Chains A and B, each alone.
Chain A
Amino acid sequence: MIAPAQIDHTLVYQRPESFTDANTHYCPGCTHGVAHRLVAEVIDEMGIREKTIGVAPVGCSVFAYKYFNMDFVEAAHGRAPAMATGIKRVLPQNTVYTYQGDGDLASIGMAEIMHAAARGENITVIFINNAIYGMTGGQMAPTTLAGMKTTSSPLGRDVELSGFPIRMSEMLATMDGAGYIARGSLHDAKHIRKAKKAIRIAFETQERGLGFSMVELLSSCPTNWKLTPNEALDFIAENMVPVFPLGEYKVNPEIAALKI
């Protein structure tokens, strides 16, 4: 008999504690799963799961509460920043974050997000920008690119008729109440790593009481873009990044000095 070789088992990858083991409902190739995982990893790494309260939106991530292993509430469409404000003001020691899509945040919830930032609410917002309404089947979003075909802009978004895509990070960075505003992308491994760092900084901003923080993440929607998952990732790099430039738009000096 041959003795089995001694293998040194080192755990290098596992489900974060902040993640449940539920199967997600997201379509193949959708980057919501990646964004969820990054948030869960950051919360684990910071050791704040037991004091974190998440606010789920209306849209594709309406079921986010099923996937995050922490206290959660479910907001009305667009109202997550108001709900988060309500929670944070009575529980200032807790960590409160919202997870919102572009229709939720930049269309129906425009007033709530702008004023939460203006007030410098100590909350963190994870903003998924995939330029489309996913849950309702691919309608034009406030971030839909000019010329982009959707079910409600079937000939392509005509800016003469339905306006231009909105750049939320740039606008929110003008708010004195914002401590950290950054836009990242989830189209390749390099950018995913950068996005995770931005998410970490955003939560650190909240932990330090430095005001409103948001990370916008350019994301794919292969189903409604009618592209394969790989094509959809290329679409982000080629078409979305030029309209929504990546980078940090507002960094509180105290957080800039932080080594992460």
Chain B
Amino acid sequence: MSKQLLKGNEAFAEAAIRAGCEGFYGYPITPSTEFLEYMAKRMPELGRAFVQAESEVAAINMVYGAACTGKRVMTASSSPGISLMMEGISYIAGTEVPAVIVNVMRGGPGLGNIAPAQGDYYQMVKGGGHGDYFPIVLAPASVQEAIDIIGVAFDLADKYRAVVHIIVDGNMGQMMEPAEIPPMRELPKEPPKWAVTGAKGRKPNFLSSIYIDPVEQEITNLRLLKRWLEIEKNEVRFVESDMEDAEIAVIGFGTSGRVASSAVRSAREEGIKVGLLRPVTLAPFPKKRLEEISKRVRRILVVEMNSGMMLDDVYAVVQGRVPVEFYGRMGGITPLPDEILGEIRRVATNKIPVNGDARQQWISRLEKIIPGGKA
């Protein structure tokens, strides 16, 4: 198949179908709605399940039920809708059934707006629901990368019986790009042994997140933790460019990482020795690679479309080895390549050691460029 001009949300939906998604349960919310609309048309054509639920709460519990049958199932939503799903996501994680959840993030908190943002980083990467569990979080940066990663997401969910989040922002959900969708995968003939399918000729299967005895719960949480450590060992993914001789490392994910890559290219043309690390798995975070980088660069610049959330994960890895600076835009504003280029230039020429909190310094720079920004 050749490349076509595809709209993000629709392409992701078709990619999910090609990866073997047999059930989609969702609720309309901007900027992810086209995902649901596409599924509404396409899933019945293939004899697969589609339900427009009465709420995100119901949608995720439908995903939960369907996930217990061992079939590949998913939902897609946007920030406030994902908040409503968090209870169910915790149950899915606690029951150890696979599910894929796409969050096309928008500006928040609260009702916020429908513009692209990355403010759900903490919620998605650190869990979001209650209790001890660890979701896998994938953050693609283009329509093509998102298409390809949906198949990966289902494979990881099945392999580890885990929740896999794909987080993109409204930019990627809404924009059109040339991309290629992979061929249709064959559906599995047999359900996994643990699935509820009717106890025909076997002992009943029971799937739940209930462990009334705290000892049993602790054993379960230990199992989840060990599985997570296995995931940390095996499943880290990142994209890197111009890092060999870099003195400055720019770190960004998703759209902010993509905008940063343009800025890094421009800065290279100006002769600035700068490289880019774009984590594709935010969880597990590319800790080892970042640690290596932090041992040989002069400065790190973290770029996000939030108030500096991944920044905390970077701090935790870098541990003061090298000054870390931050540049972010919030509330639905996507930074321009020139803004980040300006930041790279500033960092490159700044010989003074960075004192204090990177966030604090960023606020004073940001306030100067936002009209009426002095809050």
Residues of A at the B interface (CB closer than 8 Å) are: 49-53, 55-56, 62, 65, 68-76, 79, 82-87, 89-91, 94-95, 111-112, 114-115, 119
Which segment, of B101-109, B207-215, B307-315, B364-372, faces chain A?
B207-215
Are A94 and B198 in contact, CB atoms less than 8 angstroms apart?
A: yes
Say if the beta carbon of B199 comes within 8 Å of chain A: yes
Are A74 and B199 in contact, CB atoms less than 8 angstroms apart?
A: no
Q: State the CA gap A139–B192 with chains docked (Å).
A: 41
A72-B196, A86-B65, A87-B65 known; A112 and B58 CB under 8 Å?
A: yes
Q: State the CA gap A90–B55 with chains docked (Å).
A: 19
Q: State the CA gap A87–B62 with chains docked (Å).
A: 7
**Residues of A with C-beta under 8 A to B95:** 73-74
A90-B23, A111-B55 known; A72 and B66 CB under 8 Å?
A: no
Q: Which 3 A-B pairs have the closest CB atoms?
A: A86-B65, A74-B208, A83-B65
Tell me how far the C-beta of B236 lies from the nearest C-beta in chain A, rounded to whole angstroms. 32
**Residues of B with C-beta under 8 A to A71:** 196-199, 204-206
Closest to A111 in B: B54
Known: A53-B196, A76-B64. 8 other contacts (CB 8 A): A71-B206, A72-B206, A73-B196, A74-B207, A85-B53, A90-B66, A90-B69, A115-B54
**Residues of B with C-beta under 8 A to A119:** 51
**Residues of B with C-beta under 8 A to A82:** 53, 57-59, 61-62, 64-65
Return the contact of B66 from the options A70, A76, A89 (Cβ within 8 A). A89
**Residues of B with C-beta under 8 A to A75:** 61, 64-65
Are B65 and A84 in contact, CB atoms less than 8 angstroms apart?
A: yes
Q: State the CA gap A71–B200 with chains docked (Å).
A: 9
A72-B206, A84-B65, A115-B54 known; A51 and B196 CB under 8 Å?
A: no
Closest to A55 in B: B65
Q: State the CA gap A239–B201 with chains docked (Å).
A: 46
Most buried by A among B88, B95, B198, B201: B198
**Residues of A with C-beta under 8 A to B64:** 75-76, 79, 82-83, 86
**Residues of B with C-beta under 8 A to A91:** 69, 197-198
Are B200 and A50 in contact, CB atoms less than 8 angstroms apart?
A: yes
Are B54 and A73 in contact, CB atoms less than 8 angstroms apart?
A: no
Say if the beta carbon of B71 comes within 8 Å of chain A: yes
**Residues of A with C-beta under 8 A to B68:** 73, 83, 86-87
**Residues of B with C-beta under 8 A to A73:** 65, 68, 95, 196, 206-208
A90-B66, A94-B197 known; A65 and B61 CB under 8 Å?
A: no
Tell me how far the C-beta of B267 lies from the nearest C-beta in chain A, rounded to whole angstroms. 49
Are B62 and A89 in contact, CB atoms less than 8 angstroms apart?
A: yes
Say if the beta carbon of B14 comes within 8 Å of chain A: no
A62-B210, A89-B49, A115-B54 known; A70 and B199 CB under 8 Å?
A: yes
**B28-70 toward A: CB 8 Å interface, digit per residue (1/0)?**
0000000000000000000001010111011101111111110
Q: State the CA gap A73–B210 with chains docked (Å).
A: 10
Tell me how far the C-beta of A79 lies from the nearest C-beta in chain B, rounded to whole angstroms. 4
Say if the beta carbon of B91 comes within 8 Å of chain A: yes
**Residues of A with C-beta under 8 A to B59:** 82
Say if the beta carbon of B154 comes within 8 Å of chain A: no
Most buried by B among A71, A84, A95: A71
**Residues of B with C-beta under 8 A to A111:** 54-55, 57-58
A74-B207, A79-B61, A112-B54 known; A86 and B23 CB under 8 Å?
A: yes
**Residues of A with C-beta under 8 A to B54:** 111-112, 114-115
8 contacts between A and B (CB under 8 A): A71-B206, A72-B207, A73-B95, A79-B61, A82-B65, A90-B22, A90-B71, A111-B54
Say if the beta carbon of B87 comes within 8 Å of chain A: yes
A65-B208, A91-B197, A111-B55 known; A76 and B91 CB under 8 Å?
A: yes
Are A86 and B204 in contact, CB atoms less than 8 angstroms apart?
A: no
Are B23 and A50 in contact, CB atoms less than 8 angstroms apart?
A: no
**Residues of A with C-beta under 8 A to B25:** 85-86
Tell me how far the C-beta of A132 lies from the nearest C-beta in chain B, rounded to whole angstroms. 22
Are B58 and A115 in contact, CB atoms less than 8 angstroms apart?
A: yes
Tell me how far the C-beta of B71 lies from the nearest C-beta in chain A, rounded to whole angstroms. 5
Closest to B22 in A: A90
